Structure 1
Amino acid sequence: MTLDWSPVWISLKTAALATLIAFFLGAIAARTMFKYRGKAKGLIDGIFTAPLVLPPTVVGFFLLLLLGKYGPIGRLLRAFDVTIIFTWYAAVIAATVVAFPLMYKTALGAFQQIDTTLLSSARTLGATEWQVFWKVLLPLARPGLIAGVLLAFARALGEFGATLMLAGSIPGRTQTIPIAIFFAAESGDMAEAMLWVSVMLGLSLTIVVAVNYWSDRRPEKRIRKRAKEGHLSLVDESLLPWDHPVTPLTWEYSRTNVLPNPIELIVDIQKQLPGIKINVSFSTNQLPLGLLGGSGAGKSFILRCIAGLETPDQGCIILNGRVLFDSRRGINVPIRDRRVGFLFQNYALFPHLTVAQNIAFGLPKGLSSVAIRQRVEKQLIAIQLQGLGDRYPQELSGGQQQRVALARALASEPDILLLDEPFSALDTYLRDQLEKLLRLSLTHFPGATLFVSHNLEEAYRICPNLLILDEGQIIAQGPKQEIFDYPHDFRVAQLTGCKNFSRTLVASENEITALDWGCTLKIYEPIPPHLAHLGIRAHQLTFPDIDGIKDGYSDNIFPCWLTSQSETQHRTTLYLKLNSAPTSPFDYHLQAEVFKDKWNELKEHPQPWRIQLHPLRLMLLQNSSGSISLEYKPSHSSRMTRDDRSNQHPS
């Protein structure tokens, strides 16, 4: 008797169509749930995955209730003379329902493993949500999606209970391989049953091997393969000098609405976050503005609000007269239309695109392929990576990746450049080289620039103006030298690198007792109404026996003893105690920083040394709350400006 092979073809075509439907439905559902943050997320996810945990017969029973003669969908179909039950379409529906959860969960897991910074980067480069989905999300999730498709196909191929209840076992029409196995075994034909089992085992093993193959296709393996074949040489960039002197990045504005002059960014936003409330109001022009503050102060969040990646509770953001956000007027311009260049801390280069494709991703729409190639090549030359356009980001060093990220951000022709700690992941050598490139590029950049950093020296070198943040509030803003020399606030002094502080007690009109330093100091600056601390920067302490008397001021000179020391390549930090010898390594009042040549000279002098806390270098600091009151209040006539004091010697 000739064996009927129709169960094989029925199973294959049923599983193929069910997998195709499950792929589209599962990918769309996974994308929706990936973005969804509502309270019903758990309930919806439970409904989507229910067929994965319910017995197939239960799933088939519910499908009968829906599609049967008296079910709501069945009655609707009967009105059009359409019957689903006991047809091949019923087998497809049953296979789709049981395969969908595997596709959905696998796709969702693949999406969740993607760095969301990559999606944010695509949006700031002008991509729509569907472009982000098709050009970034799907390609990056491809290995997981392929594995999901194979698993969904295997699940659809092996479906039995729901198919039997909904489609029955009609030879040549709805009888699939699992159903054929069941009826062959039930009739006692074990040889036929074993044949179908062998077919299923062969298909299942093929699918498992394919899943493992696609799951193992990591970019690192391809890179090692290319290196082994001689197509790639991985070199530590920090060991080599750059090929040419650093040159600024260039770009060409193709938009008709070019940037106005002068440039202005106005930010006035409030946002309640867990444990902190962001409440900032500031404006800036074309000069780069540095945002300084401790971790969690709200620096990066402000940049994300400007880019549209976060939405404030209330306030407004205006760039060059164009309203990007206004809570009262209900304006919230989409990210893709804000024309923002965002340089992320982790570079956020698309790993599935080459260097050239990364740079071209944000180029203005409508350019010809020739124009795109020319612009990309110009950017590659500027960042000294010519000839590397066909490499992938994983094939570049960290410094090279950051250069590509900067070129990509500028190539998109932004109105504002947002830099979120762009050098924090680089070593000292590469940081210095990239900082030079950035400084030169910013001198030619026609838009506004915000630079987030927790490194004072880095922000000081790049930005003429600084904004100091603490716990979501602005505590200082203005020219960098003014903030550095006249912080006026204890927290500002801390965040700008001051290491020496003392609580204070006003002794007289021009004398203040430094309680933590054990000395009384002459003061020639007006005493603020809520004085809380004195401060002096470590590098501004001087040693009269070596430095001499500065500016003719001989006040505030005290004997000091060395408690301990620590060294860097160029400087030595001295921990000093005033007026008496220390009793332990932790018994000190001040930290002084000196260059190595001065330290070599100073250590030859016998102790105690003499140290001066220069009256014009002392910082009179208030608390932000202003809760500290004075015991002595100078009269208005006694106040002098620092410029007045610089032309006057004490008696």
Structure 2
Amino acid sequence: MILSTDASPLIISLATTCTATVATFFLGMVAARVMYDVRGGLRAWIDGILTLPLVLPPTVVGFFLLLIFGRRSFIGRALEHVGVTIAFSWPATVIAATVIAFPLMYRTTLGAFEQVNPTLLQAARTLGATEWVVFRRVLLPLAGPGVVAGAVLAFARALGEFGATLMLAGNIPGRTQTMPIAIFSAAEGGDMHAALVWVVLIVILSLAIVRLLNLEKKNRVLARAEPDLSTTDLPAQLPATTFPHQESESTGTLEVDLERSLENFTLRVVLGARNGAVGLLGPSGAGKSMTLRMIAGLSTPDRGRIVLNGRVLFDSAGGRNIPAAGRRIGVVFQDYALFPHLTVAENVGFGLSRAPKDERNARIWKQLESMGIAELANRYPRQISGGQRQRVAIARCMAMEPDALLLDEPFAALDPHLRRRTEEQLRATLAGFKGPVVFVTHDMEEAFRFCSELLVLDNGQVIASGPKHKLFETPRTVAAARLTGCKNIVAARRVGSDCVEVEAWECRLRTTAAVLEALTHVGVRSHQVAFQKPAGTDNTFPCWLVSTSEAPHEMTLYLRLHAQPLPGQLPHLQADVTKDVWRQLSAQPQPWSLTLDPERLLLLEG
């Protein structure tokens, strides 16, 4: 039997395949990581070159390798001068197997990298992680199954490589004759029994590798299904020595003046934030999240300047752009961006890798306690609720003691009950925070409850800004009034210094504020529509009910002025009243008396 007389093809194949797999593993990962960041038309060309050995016949690949490493080639002659010969040697078998197997490792790994949520990588950067740490602790672990699959495929392809090996290394028994080449030689010489033996051996090796891969995958799933909650590296209680926020020589200010061209508009934002929360209010797609990304260093503005506590983070004129890892800005993402392969405690401590172990554990435990999630320390994000994930995300940011905090619609994924509870928790957490906070939301009521200053964005432009009470009471533009919740806005024209005409409502309205020539619309908030004012009060009109909409604690009334509505006529305006007011009104005959308070009218432009 051939194995009893000459086992060299098995030894050569295993040595070649293992060496080629190791080389392919590292080369493929490096290439995949580089290509992960490449964008534009150049990416397709580079990707095509890297995957070319996958589609070319192996003999063609072997021919090109012979042209590169053959004795007549420039590289071959240069190597011969130092006593190295590649062609028709064992290293040639490794080179051929590596080149042929490389595309499988590269493409599989790149696909695995691209399946990882990029927000997780961005979150790691905002927590101070360098690119190497991001790769080692986030990207590679999450893409691990795909990377392992790529290595297995590369091993299998290298084990079965024939054409390129034959062209570059030849068929030299005991030196370059691998098992596939031994099969070819045995079959060519008529020894079908020997060929069958090598075939069976290759099949057995391949099945063993696949079986080991499936077993490892099964063990990994079982290990993560039920984490051990009995042990932890955290101390049993908060130690006597605490580690307060490291105060810098800062004034607690964030100054932002940025511009960036986007697909549909140019984003232009100017804001100043001091201690306390500044709300970015606006509809979806207005540029709110992009503004946060530019402040955090995750996206680069076209021009502008960012200064935090006197420290210049970005200055297009001066060519300064500190990366996200060096900005010390905490970000709570809309989807929380918790690392799924790390426990709650490991998530909270992710940004503390440079701190001594005792200090790191103390700070982790302090945040877990303050957010009421200490009992979740050893659970994984998939094993906790949405509200708990949100608290973990906040604790993770606060543990790194940031100089500023950015919150991107942090309550968007929560139900109303959890939202209120989490709002209270976050408000308590931020009560002792010394730095500026920028809070992104499209919810007017949420912005009003949480923020002292507001900035309203629409189509990339700041259309209103200032203290929240002033902004809600006197929005200057139609867009600002709508975004701050005004539901009754109609076209109007100035007919006097204190009077406007509203054609849609068939009336004139008196105002207490001076009416400017630029006025185009007038508005009144639905909860400020009053009923049963004394006769002769300014802006008092008869009204009829068109329809209603009921909420748990209030009624929305859709009303028409001056005359009883005909079938199909739309209401003039909307009024939100309490259930008590509704009970009083519904007991009275129509028309009711409606008043639009001159002091409450919003005089708008645009």
Q: One fold, TM greater than 0.5?
A: yes
Q: Which amino acid aligns with 1:579?
A: H
Report the alpha carbon displacement of residue 83 of structure 1 after superposing the two structures with TM: 0.1
Report the alpha carbon displacement of residue 210 of structure 1 after superposing the two structures with TM: 4.1
Is 2:547 aligned against 1:564? Answer: yes
C-alpha distance in structure 2 between counterparts of 1:375 and 1:383, whole Å: 12
Q: Which residue of 1 aligns with 2:496?
A: 508
Report the alpha carbon displacement of residue 387 of structure 1 after superposing the two structures with TM: 2.8
Q: Which residue of 2 aligns with 1:621?
A: 604
Q: Which amino acid aligns with 1:330?
A: G
Q: Which residue of 2 aligns with 1:226?
A: 226
* TM alignment of 1:438-517, pairs within 5 A: 438-517=426-505
Is 2:255 aligned against 1:266? Answer: yes
Report the alpha carbon displacement of residue 38 of structure 1 after superposing the two structures with TM: 4.2
Residue by residue over 1:34-83, the C-alpha shift from the partner in whole angstroms, topping out at 9 and shown as x without a partner, is 01124311111001000001000000000000000111221221121210
Distance 1:251 1:261, change over 3 A: farther
TM-score (norm 1): 0.88
C-alpha distance in structure 2 between counterparts of 1:526 and 1:60, whole Å: 86
Report the alpha carbon displacement of residue 200 of structure 1 after superposing the two structures with TM: 1.5
Q: Which residue of 2 aligns with 1:290?
A: 279
Distance 1:316 1:604, change over 3 A: same
Is 2:490 aligned against 1:541? Answer: no
Residue by residue over 1:86-115, the C-alpha shift from the partner in whole angstroms, topping out at 9 and shown as x without a partner, is 111100000000111000001100000000
> Match of 1:444, SS?
coil
Is 2:338 aligned against 1:349? Answer: yes
C-alpha distance in structure 1 between counterparts of 2:602 and 2:96, whole Å: 77
Which 10-residue stretch deviates more, 493-502 or 188-197?
Answer: 188-197
Is 2:171 aligned against 1:153? Answer: no
C-alpha distance in structure 2 between counterparts of 1:216 and 1:299, whole Å: 43
Q: Which residue of 1 aligns with 2:111?
A: 109
Q: Which residue of 1 aligns with 2:591?
A: 608
Q: Which residue of 1 aligns with 2:400?
A: 412
Q: Which residue of 2 aligns with 1:206?
A: 208
Q: Which residue of 1 aligns with 2:93?
A: 91
Report the alpha carbon displacement of residue 253 of structure 1 after superposing the two structures with TM: 4.2
C-alpha distance in structure 2 between counterparts of 1:277 and 1:251, whole Å: 46
Q: Which residue of 2 aligns with 1:385?
A: 373
Is 2:25 aligned against 1:36? Answer: no
Report the alpha carbon displacement of residue 553 of structure 1 after superposing the two structures with TM: 8.1
Q: Which amino acid aligns with 2:291?
A: I
* TM alignment of 1:364-379, pairs within 5 A: 365=354, 367-379=355-367
Report the alpha carbon displacement of residue 529 of structure 1 after superposing the two structures with TM: 2.2
C-alpha distance in structure 2 between counterparts of 1:523 and 1:511, whole Å: 6
Report the alpha carbon displacement of residue 205 of structure 1 after superposing the two structures with TM: 2.3
Q: Which residue of 2 aligns with 1:593?
A: 576
Is 2:323 aligned against 1:334? Answer: yes
C-alpha distance in structure 2 between counterparts of 1:75 and 1:569, whole Å: 87
C-alpha distance in structure 2 between counterparts of 1:280 and 1:499, whole Å: 26
C-alpha distance in structure 2 between counterparts of 1:141 and 1:78, whole Å: 42
Q: Which amino acid aligns with 1:432?
A: R
One of 548, 551, 566 as aligned partner of 1:583: 566
Contact 2:89–2:175 under 8 Å retained in 1: yes
C-alpha distance in structure 2 between counterparts of 1:517 and 1:260, whole Å: 58
Is 2:59 aligned against 1:71? Answer: no
Q: Which amino acid aligns with 1:303?
A: L
Is 2:291 aligned against 1:302? Answer: yes
Report the alpha carbon displacement of residue 395 of structure 1 after superposing the two structures with TM: 1.2
TM-score (norm 2): 0.95
> Match of 1:573, SS?
strand
Q: Which residue of 2 aligns with 1:45?
A: 47
C-alpha distance in structure 2 between counterparts of 1:197 and 1:384, whole Å: 62
Which 10-residue stretch deviates more, 36-45 or 419-428?
Answer: 36-45
Contact 1:503–1:516 under 8 Å retained in 2: yes
Q: Which residue of 1 aligns with 2:145?
A: 143
Contact 1:276–1:472 under 8 Å retained in 2: yes
Contact 2:512–2:598 under 8 Å retained in 1: yes
Which 10-residue stretch deviates more, 479-488 or 190-199?
Answer: 190-199
C-alpha distance in structure 2 between counterparts of 1:102 and 1:214, whole Å: 20
Residue by residue over 1:365-424, the C-alpha shift from the partner in whole angstroms, topping out at 9 and shown as x without a partner, is 2x3222222221111111112232111111111111110110000111110000001110
Residue by residue over 1:106-126, the C-alpha shift from the partner in whole angstroms, topping out at 9 and shown as x without a partner, is 110000000000000100000
Contact 1:259–1:447 under 8 Å retained in 2: no
Total equivalences in the alignment: 595
Q: Which residue of 2 aligns with 1:56?
A: 58
Unaligned runs of 5+ in 1: 233-249, 624-651
Is 2:236 aligned against 1:275? Answer: no
Contact 1:560–1:576 under 8 Å retained in 2: yes
C-alpha distance in structure 2 between counterparts of 1:320 and 1:364, whole Å: 24
Report the alpha carbon displacement of residue 261 of structure 1 after superposing the two structures with TM: 5.2
Q: Which residue of 1 aligns with 2:238?
A: none
Distance 1:406 1:165, change over 3 A: same
C-alpha distance in structure 2 between counterparts of 1:493 and 1:281, whole Å: 20
Contact 1:118–1:348 under 8 Å retained in 2: yes
> Match of 2:500, SS?
strand
C-alpha distance in structure 1 between counterparts of 2:357 and 2:269, whole Å: 43
> Match of 2:41, SS?
coil
Q: Which residue of 1 aligns with 2:191?
A: 189
One of 301, 312, 326 as aligned partner of 1:312: 301
Distance 1:53 1:216, change over 3 A: farther
Distance 1:254 1:532, change over 3 A: closer
* TM alignment of 1:166-177, pairs within 5 A: 166-177=168-179
> Match of 2:375, SS?
coil
Unaligned runs of 5+ in 2: 232-240
C-alpha distance in structure 2 between counterparts of 1:553 and 1:447, whole Å: 53
Contact 2:367–2:398 under 8 Å retained in 1: no
C-alpha distance in structure 1 between counterparts of 2:530 and 2:68, whole Å: 88
Report the alpha carbon displacement of residue 208 of structure 1 after superposing the two structures with TM: 3.3
Q: Which amino acid aligns with 1:383?
A: M
Q: Which residue of 1 aligns with 2:538?
A: 555
C-alpha distance in structure 1 between counterparts of 2:72 and 2:308, whole Å: 61
Q: Which amino acid aligns with 1:274?
A: E
Contact 1:280–1:473 under 8 Å retained in 2: yes
Contact 1:355–1:393 under 8 Å retained in 2: yes
C-alpha distance in structure 2 between counterparts of 1:52 and 1:34, whole Å: 20
Residue by residue over 1:458-517, the C-alpha shift from the partner in whole angstroms, topping out at 9 and shown as x without a partner, is 111111110001111111111100000000211100111111011112333432111222
C-alpha distance in structure 1 between counterparts of 2:242 and 2:331, whole Å: 16
Distance 1:268 1:360, change over 3 A: same
% identity of equivalent residues: 52
Q: Which amino acid aligns with 2:165?
A: T
Distance 1:230 1:137, change over 3 A: closer
Report the alpha carbon displacement of residue 586 of structure 1 after superposing the two structures with TM: 5.3
Distance 1:261 1:79, change over 3 A: closer
Q: Which residue of 2 aligns with 1:402?
A: 390
